[in-house]
A and B are shown apart, each in its own frame.
Chain A
Amino acid sequence: MISLSDIPARPAAWITLPMVVLATVLLATPWLLPAIGLYQYLGIEIAIWIIFALGFNLLFGYTGLHSFGHGAYLGIGAYAFGLFQQNVAVSLWGGLLAAMLAAGVAGALVGAFLSHRRGIYYALLTIGFGQIFWFLAMKLHRVTGGEDGLLGIPRPPLTLGPWQVALTDNRALFYFAAALLMLVLVLGWRLANSPFGRVLQAIRQNEIRARFVGYEVWRFKWTVFTLSAMLAGLAGSLLAMAQQSAYPDVMSLHQSGLVVMMVLVGGGLVSFWGPVLGVIFYFVARDVLGGLTETWLLWYGLIFMAMVMLRPEGLAGMLQSLGRRSPRHPQNATPATEAA
């Protein structure tokens, strides 16, 4: 059986082989995309959604908390970034920070209501709060621009000390998003195998036992909700830059369901890499299937249903079981000594 809680072969490693592979692919992406007939902007979208999905899966896969309203925090991040540029200062770092902070505060507030709940009540409350934020974005016309959205958000240049790089070009913005994605990936991997991360997984496996060995379960639930909202906010700020605008539709129930679907198809329930695979699969399916037929979402939905019924462990699970069939599988009998 493969599980999200399997112990990595080299638990102390910061960088693993799949990370190197992904980083290489990301470096080559601006050349790869045109080569297979796709466009630069797609890379940005994929990077943004991977950040969003990785943060989401800390909550969904790792802690077993089912949020169906996570698009709200993506949207809050996007609006916060835009409003910061328009009302405070045109600043990349300031905008990113404001977006993470705004989404984090919203997440912390909602998390405080959610974290004593379980199961269906938890899920329903996440939908409820998600709808509240979406409704606010629609109705607070003076702040958010309502249905028209918040337009004319600039892409501030990246400044690192004396260095300054313009992000107006899609390729530059892609590399910036990809760099953030790698950072989130490395830190997320680290977190998943840290004491904090393992307690999250313990809560998923058996919340009662986690309490009886002494953990304040609700505080962990609250922290991980807030953290995943902040990552959604980060993704949202990149989205605002990519679109140079922010719209309420990313906060809708429909969009919140999308990230759940991506994570499930990718195998977020069994693997850290699930969200990465799921996002890539979704966008490639959208563009490839979408090029063939207008009803691509129907086909994607059917693929989703087939996956859930036949392969609930998702793409990552399928890859892992392929790897396991090969005789050379490194079944780590004593991962601890291996690491030492």
Chain B
Amino acid sequence: MALFEARNIHKRFGARVVLENISLSFEEGQVSGIMGPNGAGKSTCFHVLTGQHRPDRGEVVFDGQRISGLSPQRIARMGVSRSFQLMNLFDDTVVIENVMLALPAFRARQLHAMAAVFSDRVLIDEALAVLDQVGLAGRAWDAAASLSYGDRRALEIAVALAAEPRILFLDEPTSGLGMEATRRLAQLVNRLRDRYTIVMIEHDMRFLFELADRISVIHWGQVIAEGTPAQLGDNKWVRRSALAEATHA
């Protein structure tokens, strides 16, 4: 059975139907991709999967447990972690605190009101280890707001990783990144793929085709194609947009 499944998800906002009977499943240990044109419902789909929106119909099941309808914080504590497309960091503080706050060890101490966070070696070392995975250990004590765009993206992922997730959702990780930063991000995802189950929404097809084991294509609020990158290479819509991208470049 798949680790994470969405079954017959419907979601509408007012009169606008955004998701119409979407079913997806993500296998443990794989990198799965979700792609589709702008406005196809990718982001809404992501929000439904990770608990920000509640589906009107259908259910989301994680490890045999129904999670649709639970609060985002409950879902997060069960081991579903996500990054954000528009970066969502704690910007008044240093890089390392962004990661520390997401550590399960920090959550375990959340009611400690007299302990000093920044002399707690366990928290600091765990956070440094997470930052090391994304190559930011050297910037640990810098202001989060001072990071470059690409480094902020890496920090987004580090915050998601710090929760020791069983499944990691990345929302358009390459959006706004240049060639070099995108390449570094691909290397990062490649390093993470052995240890995490990863789901990415992505519009950069080259990025997705290079990294994903399986890809689902969403259009008009529906899944219009699914398969390995090799299988999808023949898909009409995929080929057309690949062409568009090539002529664009």
Contact = CB atoms under 8 A, between A and B. Distances in A.
Interface of A: 1, 3-8, 11-12, 187, 190-191, 193-199, 201-202, 204-206, 208-217, 332-336, 339-340
Contacts of A213: 76, 101-102, 107, 159, 162-163
Contacts of A335: 118, 141
Contacts of A199: 101, 110
Closest 4 CB pairs between A and B? A11-B118, A12-B119, A339-B119, A213-B102
A204 B117 CA distance: 18
Given A213-B101, A213-B163, 7 more contacts: A194-B115, A195-B110, A198-B100, A202-B90, A214-B163, A215-B110, A217-B73
Nearest to B90: A205
A209 B89 contact: yes
Interface in B102-145: 102, 106-107, 109-119, 121, 124, 141, 143, 145
A40 to B, nearest CB: 34
Interface of B: 50, 71-73, 76-77, 82, 84, 88-94, 97, 100-102, 106-107, 109-119, 121, 124, 141, 143, 145, 159, 162-163
A281 B118 CA distance: 32
Quick one: which of B100, B109, B114, B145 has the most chain A CB within 10 A?
B114
10 contacts: A1-B145, A191-B113, A193-B118, A194-B116, A195-B110, A199-B101, A212-B73, A214-B163, A215-B107, A339-B116
Contact of B116 (A5, A6, A11, A211): A11
Contacts of A7: 93-94, 97, 118
A196 B108 CA distance: 11
Nearest to A12: B119
B119 A11 contact: yes
A194 B107 contact: no
Contact of B72 (A191, A201, A211, A333): A211
A209 B90 contact: yes
A4 B121 contact: no
A212 B94 contact: no
Contacts of A195: 106, 109-113, 115, 117
B117 A198 contact: yes
B92 A3 contact: yes
Q: Which of A3, A8, A214, A340 has the most CB of B within 10 A?
A: A214
Contacts of B82: 212
B132 to A, nearest CB: 15
Contacts of B84: 209, 212
B88 A193 contact: no
Scoring A215, A333, A334, A340 by chain B CB atoms within 10 A of each residue's CB, the highest score goes to A215
Contacts of B141: 332-335
Given A213-B159, A214-B163, A333-B141, A201 B117 contact: no
A194 B14 CA distance: 44
A209 B88 contact: yes
A95 B116 CA distance: 32
B56 to A, nearest CB: 22
A208 B83 CA distance: 12
B180 to A, nearest CB: 27
A339 B118 contact: yes
Contacts of B93: 3, 5-7, 201, 205
B114 A187 contact: yes
A7 B140 CA distance: 13
A194 B162 CA distance: 19
Nearest to B97: A198
Contacts of B116: 11-12, 190, 193-194, 339
Given A201-B93, A209-B88, A209-B89, A216 B118 contact: no
Given A201-B93, A206-B90, A209-B90, A1 B143 contact: yes
Given A211-B73, A212-B76, A213-B163, A205 B92 contact: yes
A55 B100 CA distance: 26
B118 A206 contact: no
A195 B117 CA distance: 6
A231 B84 CA distance: 38
Nearest to A4: B92
A202 B117 CA distance: 13
Contacts of A197: 113
B113 A206 contact: no
A194 B119 contact: no
Contacts of B76: 211-214
Contacts of A190: 113-114, 116
B112 to A, nearest CB: 5
A212 B88 CA distance: 10
A195 B103 CA distance: 11
Given A195-B112, A198-B101, A214 B117 contact: no
B113 A194 contact: yes
Contacts of B162: 213
A214 B107 contact: yes
A209 B159 CA distance: 10
Contacts of A11: 116-119
A217 B71 CA distance: 11
A275 B94 CA distance: 24
Contacts of B145: 1
